[in-house]
Every structure is written in C-alpha cells, then in structure tokens.
Amino acid sequence: MLRGILLTLQIGIISWIIALFAGILIGTFRTFPWRPLRVVGTAYVEIFRNIPLLVQLFFWYYAIPPLVGQWLNRMHNLGYYCAIFGLGIYTASRVAEHVRSGLNTVPTGQRFAGLSTGLSQLQLYRHVIIPYAIRVMIPPLTTEFLTVFKNSALAMTIGVLELTGMADRINARTWHGLESTTGAIAGYLIIGLSIITLMSLVESKLRIPGLIKR
C-alpha cells in the first residue's frame, strides 16, 4: 500500500511537471498574435481535452508500440512511462486553458506598455505577462494539481501498481476489496489535503501587493 502511494506521488508529480511546461507553452501559443501558432494551440487543446483519458492511455500503451517497433514492447515499465507521458500531455491541455484565461486577464494596456518600452514579443511574455498572469492562475492550477493525482488512478488500467492498482491487487489476492479500496481512499484524501495546504502557502507567498486578498 505504501509503495502504491509512493508510485502515485511519483506519477502525479512527474506528469504535473510535464503538464506545467507543455501547458504554459500551449496556452501562451493561444494568445500569440500569430495565427498558425494559435491554430496549433487550439487544435492541441480540443483534441486532448475531448478524448477520455482512459482511451488516450490505451492508445499510448497498446496502439503506439506496434507502430514504433517491438523494442518498445520489451521495455521494462512501459506502462509506467506511458502513464506519465499520457497523463502529462492530457493535463497539459487542461493547464493550457487555465493559462490562456490567466493571460487574458492581463490588461491590454500592459501589453502595449511593454512593447512600447522596446521589449520584443518574447521578452514581453517572459518579463511582463507571464509573471503577472501566473498569480491569477494559481487557484485553478491548484485544482488541476489535485486532479492529476486523482487521474493518476487510471494508470492502473495499463498495469501500473499505484495506489488504486494496489487496492485492486490486494482485492484479487485476499478478496478484501472493500477494505483495500477504503484504504486507498484515505491515501488520496491525505495527498489532497497536503496539496491544498501547500498551495495556499505558495499563494500567500506570491501574492501581488495591492491586489484583493482572498
């Protein structure tokens, strides 16, 4: 059971890092004043958000290896990597949406002000828009961070023994499904509560002076 929790944490955190980077990138694409990038961003979000995560995981786990070659199939821990990768890019599409709405809260005036001081488009994003928007995005991203851990439970369907998978395994061995599932529920509650505590700390650290306190 403890091993399951550790694996859940691992999958959750690594895919969260992937999702954060990819999501910020894609979300930024969607606000760029250059159309092709916006189209790419929109297509990415629409595709990955509208297909159930389970189907995506199956796709990566079952459909891709025969296409790429058999060496993938022989790989140890294939399910684990598929889970991290699949969860990461799925979550990225959701993060991208929050990033986009966060970026849109930055007043246009700041955009023009930045450009008129001679910043390039990239510098503008790096130094003006992103630092500002990231603070607006923290609450919805906290929710998303919690969701990653909940979604990581799906990794059990491709044979990864994380918390839910462990509960299922215990059920298969001992026929105590109710007890092991209840234990897993407790595990998720603990993870969730710790994240909420952590993120409210981060939120208060990063608060822009002068904005409304929550």
Residue of 99, 154, 160, 170 interacting with other proteins (CB under 8 A)? 154
Cβ proximity to other proteins, 66 vs 131, nearer residue: 66
Cβ proximity to other proteins, 55 vs 212, nearer residue: 55
Q: What sign results for the dihedral spanned by CA atoms 172, 178, 180, 186? A: positive
Interacting span for other proteins (CB under 8 A) from 16-24, 30-38, 117-125, 149-157: 149-157
Neighbours of 1 (CB within 10 A): 15
The reply to whether 168 sits near other proteins by the rule CB under 8 A is yes
Interface size with other proteins, residues (CB under 8 A): 40
Please report how many Cα atoms fall inside a 13 Å half-sphere around the Cα of residue 87, on the Cβ side.
32
Residues 6+ apart with CB under 8 A from 167: 1, 4, 177, 180, 181, 183, 184
181 in Cβ contact with 167 (< 8 Å): yes
The reply to whether 91 sits near other proteins by the rule CB under 8 A is no
List contacts with other proteins (CB under 8 A): 46-47, 49-56, 58-59, 62-64, 66-67, 146, 149-154, 156-157, 164, 167-168, 171, 177-178, 181-182, 184-185, 188-189, 192-193
